């Protein structure tokens, strides 16, 4: 398992969180890509 320090940089503001990819990101990412309105 990777520790948070080894996972990569995290950038956070009031409205945005940028962090490295996690395995549990796959399902919501696939759902976004399957939505025709998102992909227009």
Answer yes or no: are the C-beta atoms of 30 and 36 closer than 8 Å: no
Mean pLDDT score, 6-35? 94
pLDDT in tens, 13-26: 999 999 999 999 99
Is 12 strand, coil or helix? strand
Q: Indicate the domain borders of the chain.
A: 4-39
For residue 7, the model assigns a pLDDT of 77
Residue 4 banded pLDDT, cuts 50, 70, 90? low
For residue 15, the model assigns a pLDDT of 98
User: Is the pTM higher than 0.85?
Assistant: no
Answer yes or no: are the C-beta atoms of 39 and 33 closer than 8 Å: yes
């Amino acid at each position: 398992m990777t520790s948070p320090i080894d996972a990569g940089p995290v950038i956070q503001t009031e409205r945005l969180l940028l962090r490295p990819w996690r395995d549990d990101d796959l399902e919501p990412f696939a759902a976004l890509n399957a939505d025709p309105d998102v992909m227009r």
